[in-house]
Amino acid sequence: MAKPIILIVDDLVTSYESLVRNIAQYDGGRLAREFDYQHLDCFAEVRQWYHRNRARFVALIIQDVDFSHTTDERKLVDYPEILRPLQRTLDIKCLQGFLIYGYIRQNNIDRIAPVIFVSCRIGMESTSEFSEFIIRPGYGLCSFVPESAVGEQYYPKIAAAIDVLAIRPLTDEQRRNWITKHHMVIGRARKMAFLAYEIERIGPSDATVLLLGGPGVGKELVANALHRCSYRYVEGDPAREYPLAINMAALSPNLIEDELFGHQRGAYTGATGEREGILEAAQGSTVLLDEIGDVAQDTQVKLLRAMEYHRIKRIGSSHELEIDMRIIAATNRTVTELQTRFRPDFYGRLVQHCIPVPSLRERWENEPPDNLEADIEDTARYITETMNANPRHKRHLGIERTAVKFLRQVVQQHIDGSNSMFDGNVRTLRNIIERAYERAQYDGSSEIGLGHVMPALGMARLLNAQTAAAQTPPSRGPDQTLLPASDQPQAQDDKPLQTGVGTLNLQAIECQAIKEALQKTNNNQTHAAELLGIHRDTLRRKMTEHNL
């Protein structure tokens, strides 16, 4: 397996060579052994590299800012439209690194790789003009090599920053720990490694966190993990083992403030006694405000005071109460929508720590097929082991490899845009496996097989068809596109997504799985049957059906 890679974007190959040579001396050469390094000298090369290396695990980008040594000005990029209002008083060579960074982020070439800026000679006043452009919700971390890092301190400072900021694939032990401790199957995908990194980075703090993601991506699981990473988590304590959750969209506007802040006796007709709200009840713990995007502006003002000063006022009370709780908010709205719906002060306070939770498609797009199949197998194993622990189930079941391969094929179709089966994201995948488990229990089987998964998938497809007409096309992301359509990086062009159910040719998927097994075993039917998890006679019958 290829090592994670660090991209060094610099106009001088000699700077790249010096950097790599000095990194090799850090901590006995550990960083040199842990990562591969790649030099790129302009944005066009960056775009081309990502196009050719979709499945590579990019751990970090080291971005030179000053490209004064560039002799071929055709390699330079100019201000994007989003920065046109800025005063263009500097030569674009002096800030080329910022512009390259902007195109990488805004055009979704890579929004999560941490970036270390080096050779920044334009001064802090000019750098501040780019701060809003550089730091956006959902982007990976940015860091600058300090001005004090000169001479012998320069390269060690960069190496130390790499060691701290670089995203690494999770080890087998780390993935098992995430399942055991947080009940999350993180898997091998880079975006999930980034998610785990963000949870572990922000979780121990007391900061307010906003989770962004569509329905079914697992925002509540992420909120639970953030809580478990903090000192507020107390195992076995009903009040502090999990965040106290409230769905803002499920309550009428008249009830939201009562649920949040509570009321005094006589505050309104029917208020016969005192009642503490969820913010007060969560003393010492965490509150999850789900669907925060639907909260009204007058409630935003009161929530803002609770977040900033940790003080609330019950309805009908003249006195404030001091509270000790942490707020985690979640929404399926985009950042652009939140900017228009929220007061500026509330929005600014809420998005200081913003974690995007990837959809099923985002999670596995541009990932190697082996990673996808292994992650689905881990997910299926976790779900079946969880259901096996239920004493109502008579038998402990596993899952056949054929069923895993079949699920991988269907999920891959969804990623490619050939079906919309998993618009419900990981929740849909979980439901299919759970229904297949139940069918296997009824059948008296010892494993979940293809015959159990197909009907469960068919039912999910039927339910999807019933709701497809009511679904609206997904909104654009928070950032406008910077490059003309003709110049968009082809590596990141999304294939057209079908808004309907799409097609799901189960026979074709089964046939493809058999072909792959035969190819991997050099047409050895016995070994192919073992690989597929079926009997050799069943394989021969299937080969006859598919004219193989």
> Looking at the structure, do residues 296 and 259 belong to the same domain, yes or no?
yes
Domain for residue 513, yes or no? no
> Looking at the structure, do residues 75 and 208 belong to the same domain, yes or no?
no
> Looking at the structure, do residues 35 and 58 belong to the same domain, yes or no?
yes
Q: What is the pLDDT of residue 491?
A: 39
> Looking at the structure, do residues 192 and 159 belong to the same domain, yes or no?
no
User: Distance (Å, rounded) from C-alpha 387 to C-alpha 389?
Assistant: 5
Domain for residue 389, yes or no? yes
Q: What is the pLDDT of residue 338?
A: 93
Nearest to 290 by CA among 261, 313, 256: 256
> Looking at the structure, do residues 219 and 346 belong to the same domain, yes or no?
yes
**Type of residue numbered 62:** I
Q: What is the pLDDT of residue 88?
A: 57
CB atoms within 10 A of CB 262: 23
> Looking at the structure, do residues 60 and 75 belong to the same domain, yes or no?
yes
Specify the 3-state DSSP secondary structure of 221. helix
What phi and psi values does residue 276 have, to the nearest 5 degrees?
-85, 140
CB atoms within 10 A of CB 521: 16
Residue ranges, the chain, pLDDT below 70: 80-90, 120-134, 146-150, 462-510, 530-534
Domain for residue 222, yes or no? yes
> Looking at the structure, do residues 207 and 119 belong to the same domain, yes or no?
no
Domain for residue 546, yes or no? no
Which residues on adjacent β-strands are paired with residue 61?
Answer: 7, 115
**Helix ranges restricted to H, 151-296:** 154-165, 172-182, 190-202, 219-228, 253-261, 278-281
Question: pLDDT for 120-170, tens place per residue?
Answer: 665 555 555 666 666 778 889 998 886 666 677 889 999 999 999 999 999
The pTM of the full predicted model, rounded to 2 decimals, is: 0.83
Domain for residue 159, yes or no? yes
Residue 181 sits in a domain whose CATH number is: 3.40.50.300
Domain for residue 492, yes or no? no
> Looking at the structure, do residues 51 and 153 belong to the same domain, yes or no?
yes
Pairing assessment for the beta strands 275-276 and 262-263 based on DSSP bridges: antiparallel
Residue 85 sits in a domain whose CATH number is: 3.40.50.2300
Last residue of a domain, one of 165, 185, 205: 165
Specify the 3-state DSSP secondary structure of 63. strand
Give the range of the structural domain holding residue 346, as residue numbers without chain letter.
Answer: 172-358
To the nearest 10°, the Cα dihedral for 182, 188, 194, 200? 30
C-alpha distances out from residue 351 to 138, 177, 328, 538, Å: 9, 29, 11, 55
To the nearest 10°, the Cα dihedral for 538, 539, 544, 548? 170
> Looking at the structure, do residues 367 and 354 belong to the same domain, yes or no?
no
Nearest to 228 by CA among 259, 220, 138: 220
Q: C-alpha 5: how far from its chain's center? A: 19
Last residue of a domain, one of 135, 150, 165: 165
- When divided into structural domains, the chain yields a total of 3
Question: pLDDT for 29-88, tens place per residue?
Answer: 999 999 999 999 999 999 999 999 999 999 999 999 889 899 998 999 987 665 555 555
Q: What is the pLDDT of residue 480?
A: 40
Q: What is the pLDDT of residue 461?
A: 75
> Looking at the structure, do residues 97 and 215 belong to the same domain, yes or no?
no
> Looking at the structure, do residues 225 and 160 belong to the same domain, yes or no?
no
Q: What is the pLDDT of residue 493?
A: 38
User: Distance (Å, rounded) from C-alpha 167 to C-alpha 60?
Assistant: 7
Domain for residue 39, yes or no? yes
DSSP letter at 292? G
Domain for residue 516, yes or no? no
